[in-house]
């Protein structure tokens, strides 16, 4: 950073002087270390290969890049911009800095150069082939997709589709034993992704684990609308997804199980939809659920984390003009947005390995699922975009009318299990905690380690990570107050949840091996046909 730089607008002169002085001092220290061949090691995994430390010039380049990046981020922090603008600046600078890392270019990446020499140039040929294959797909390959097939080695839990309409298929899973808890559970995954994040491979399947604990499990498999559809799905609204989606699924499960009340679970956007649907039912004087579980879901959108950089009145208005009356929010655009929330992990890491080094990414079921994105009907998306992320209307009792009735989440007075992930970058855990303030029944809030998906998909057999709970489910006004007295427990939260769920599920009864009933017969085997439709 040259000492003659003028003060950028919005940064106090004193703050800039401090940043400048610190930069110069650290630059001199690095230069002295380089001369004496004692440059410190770098912990950033982009520069972890021995090829970087083996060459002082490349190691110095990496140090200079990291020092410059740190200084730019400090400039944003020192600016007198408001908090929203600072978040947008941080995000924009992060995108630029991550893209400009010397690790991303062959000419400045000694590890990729070493691979080139070792393979006699074959790595570049393989990398170009990988690049052109991804251009054809329109996305970066994050896993060896040839190793997975839906219904064969992911989404394999036995079951039957027992209902379908133009919005979803309902799957009833085969019970794990001859008896199960009388009250079944309905799983409502997000319609922004395929359902099988909850049914990956047998060893990490939420569905299989829940069945094994003695529960009768139903699941919503949302339709993936594509441009070729001719039944008007591209005009589907938020209200239709509540009325003909969530509430219809609940009524079918009631009819098949013979239970007037069922347990329910919503994941991410599925949790927002489920809670809204239950509030609609409450406004109609109905209480079809005995309990509700919300996994990494938001009901109060006061702080949407990094996703907030995409939300402003102009952006929402543009989307409404584009697709508010019909059309699709494409899977490709949604997937790109989510990938660039963590560009080093989900973009540039693969640019280096796939293209510069010509490697084939390892097979990983979670990343295969992540690549299997879905389109969304435009009217549904724009309603959600405005009323949650932009205006945060859902938390205000009576502010919204959904499916013809005013929505008040406090009218949901059933027991609620609320799970959040501590490192979640999509649903900040402190925002998820705000659900305790808007729901009307008894709440159990649980905080798991790791991120949005990895924190949820944490089978007990692996004995990984940990989770936090409050003694006697004591409630607090703020998330920080809750965490200060929370107890950390080793391992997975799954068994904690099923123990809680058993208390909401009645006694165990004999169950039929026959799926559905005379009104809702077996249509086809799980995972069904809707999940097989891929967005292009």
Distance CA 371, CA 319 (A): 24
* Adjacent-strand bridge partners of 517: none
82: exposed, middle or buried (Cβ count in 10 Å: 0-12, 13-18, 19+): exposed
Active site residue 191: no
C-alpha angle 203-206-209 in degrees, rounded to nearest 5:
70
Tell me if 147 sits within 8 A of 363, measured CB to CB. yes
Residues whose CB falls within 8 Å of the CB of residue 35, separated by 6 or more in sequence, listed in order: none
Structure tokens at 99: 């893209």
Q: How do 179-181 and 508-510 pair as beta strands?
A: antiparallel
Q: Given CA atoms 494, 500, 506, 508 in this order, what sign does their dihedral have? A: positive
Distance CA 226, CA 223 (A): 9
Give the number of other CB atoms < 10 A from CB of residue 301.
22
Structure tokens at 61: 């380049």
What single string gives the DSSP state of each residue in 174-210?
Answer: PPSSSEEESS-EEEE--TTB-GGGGSSSGGG-HHHHH
| 404-to-12, 251, 308, 401 alpha-carbon distances in Å | 53, 18, 29, 6
Q: Please state the φ and ψ torsions of residue 444, each to the nearest 5 degrees.
A: -120, 115
Cis peptide before 527 (omega within 30 of 0): yes
Least Cα distance to 16 among 24, 362, 370, 504 occurs for 24
Q: Which of 97, 236, 268, 400 is catalytic?
A: 268
Q: Which residues are catalytic?
A: 268
């Amino acid at each position: 950073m040259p000492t003659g730089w003028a003060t950028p607008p919005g940064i106090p002169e004193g703050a800039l002087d401090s940043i400048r002085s610190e930069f110069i001092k650290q630059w001199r220290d690095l230069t002295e270390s380089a001369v004496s061949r004692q440059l410190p090691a770098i912990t950033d995994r982009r520069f972890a290969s021995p090829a970087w430390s083996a060459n002082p010039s490349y190691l110095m380049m990496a140090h200079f890049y990291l020092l410059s990046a740190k200084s730019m981020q400090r400039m944003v922090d020192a600016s007198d911009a408001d908090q929203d603008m600072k978040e947008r600046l941080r995000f924009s600078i992060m995108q630029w800095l991550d893209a400009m890392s010397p690790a991303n270019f062959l000419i400045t990446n000694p590890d990729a150069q070493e691979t080139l020499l070792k393979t006699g140039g074959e790595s570049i040929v393989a990398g170009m082939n990988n690049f052109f294959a991804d251009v054809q797909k329109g996305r970066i390959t994050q896993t060896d997709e040839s190793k997975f097939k839906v219904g064969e080695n992911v989404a394999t839990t036995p079951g039957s589709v027992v209902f379908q309409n133009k919005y979803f298929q309902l799957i009833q899973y085969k019970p794990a034993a001859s008896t199960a808890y009388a009250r079944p559970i309905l799983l409502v995954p997000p319609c922004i992704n395929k359902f099988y994040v909850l049914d990956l491979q047998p060893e990490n399947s939420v569905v299989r684990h829940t069945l094994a604990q003695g529960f009768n499990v139903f699941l919503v498999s949302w339709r993936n609308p594509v441009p070729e559809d001719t039944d008007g799905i591209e005009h589907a609204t938020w209200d239709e997804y509540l009325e003909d989606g969530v509430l219809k699924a609940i009524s079918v499960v009631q009819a098949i199980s013979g239970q007037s009340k069922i347990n329910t679970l919503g994941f991410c956007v599925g949790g927002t939809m489920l809670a809204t649907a239950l509030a609609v039912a409450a406004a109609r004087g109905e209480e079809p659920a005995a309990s509700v579980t919300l996994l990494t879901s938001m009901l109060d959108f006061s702080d949407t984390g990094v996703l907030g950089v995409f939300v402003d009145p102009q952006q929402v208005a543009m989307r409404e003009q584009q697709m508010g009356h019909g059309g699709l929010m494409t899977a490709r655009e949604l997937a790109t947005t989510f990938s660039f929330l963590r560009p080093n992990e989900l973009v540039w890491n693969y640019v280096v390995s796939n293209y510069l080094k010509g490697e084939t990414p390892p097979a990983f079921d979670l990343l295969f699922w992540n690549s299997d994105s879905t389109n969304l009907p435009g009217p549904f998306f724009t309603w959600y975009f405005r009323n949650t992320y932009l205006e945060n209307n859902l938390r205000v009792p009576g502010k919204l009318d959904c499916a013809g009735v005013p929505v008040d989440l406090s009218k949901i007075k059933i027991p609620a299990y609320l799970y959040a992930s501590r490192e979640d970058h999509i649903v900040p855990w402190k925002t998820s905690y705000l659900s305790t303030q808007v729901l009307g029944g008894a709440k159990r809030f649980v905080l798991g380690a790791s991120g949005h998906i990895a924190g949820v998909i944490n089978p007990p057999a692996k004995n990984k990570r940990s989770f936090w709970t409050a003694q006697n489910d004591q409630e607090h006004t703020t998330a920080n107050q809750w965490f200060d007295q929370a107890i950390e427990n080793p391992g997975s939260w799954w068994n904690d949840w099923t123990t809680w769920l058993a208390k909401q599920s009645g006694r165990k009864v004999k169950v039929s091996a026959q799926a559905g009933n005379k009104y809702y017969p077996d249509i086809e085997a799980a995972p069904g046909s809707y999940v097989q439709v891929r967005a292009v």
